[in-house]
């Protein structure tokens, strides 16, 4: 409830300006959010409880091609991932994804990752080439690396090989990702 003391036309102008400023602020935030450089197309709408929140548009499905190539290959390299001085993954059963202009991404089978360090989060993103992406945080004692691991639980058919695999952000300072190149020829660069 807003209690206003009417001291003439000046107070009415102040109230109008406050309302106008709030509405401009809301429109500006929605515009900035929609035009963010996130790969997912987003819009702001009201959710079930009446709050403004991002709603992902997942209806766009694209197929990899010459304009956006995606290649997935098995590699014989061994990948070791450490977090909080613990090895949480150590495997040679790795898929490497080369996508358009991005750096290669190592996808590790979920069965090779120690589940006691993983905690699923509510964070989601969407890729029109791969599908809906879910995230995990790495947690051990008082250390946390928020949304450091991602997986496509139901990837689109063009990238179905990455189902039941997860990838790690290699630029996190609390994570150590070691790729040991094997003597055999490898598709990983």
Report the domain count for the chain: 2
Q: What is the DSSP letter of 68?
A: B
Note whether 165 and 101 are same-domain residues. Answer: yes
Q: pTM for the whole thing?
A: 0.67
Q: What's the distance, Cα to Cα, between the start and end of the chain in Å?
A: 63
**Do 63 and 72 meet the contact criterion of CB atoms below 8 Å apart?**
no
Whether residue 75 is found in the same domain as residue 46: no
Enclosing domain of residue 153: 70-180
pLDDT per residue rounded down to tens, the chain (189 residues): 344 454 555 555 555 555 555 544 444 444 444 433 444 444 444 434 444 445 555 578 999 999 999 999 999 889 999 998 899 999 999 999 999 999 999 999 999 999 999 999 999 999 999 999 999 999 998 899 999 999 999 999 999 999 999 999 989 999 998 988 876 554 443
Q: Largest alpha-carbon pair distance within the chain?
A: 84
């Amino acid at each position: 409830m807003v209690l206003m003391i009417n001291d003439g036309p000046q107070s009415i102008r102040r109230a109008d300006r406050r309302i106008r400023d709030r509405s401009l602020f809301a429109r500006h935030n929605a515009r900035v959010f929609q035009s963010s450089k996130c790969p997912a197309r987003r819009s702001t709408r009201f959710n079930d409880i009446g709050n403004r929140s991002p709603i992902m548009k997942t209806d766009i499905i694209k197929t990899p091609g010459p304009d956006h190539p995606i290649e997935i290959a098995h590699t014989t390299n061994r990948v070791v991932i450490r977090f909080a001085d613990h090895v949480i993954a150590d495997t040679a059963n790795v898929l490497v994804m080369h996508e358009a202009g991005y750096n290669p991404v190592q996808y590790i089978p979920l069965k090779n990752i120690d589940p006691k360090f993983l905690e699923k989060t509510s964070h989601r993103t969407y890729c029109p080439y791969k599908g809906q992406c879910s995230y995990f945080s790495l947690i051990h004692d008082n250390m946390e690396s928020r949304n450091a691991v991602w997986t496509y639980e139901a990837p689109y058919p063009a990238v179905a090989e990455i189902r039941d695999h997860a990838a790690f952000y290699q630029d996190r300072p609390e994570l150590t990702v070691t790729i040991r190149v094997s003597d055999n020829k490898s598709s990983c660069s």
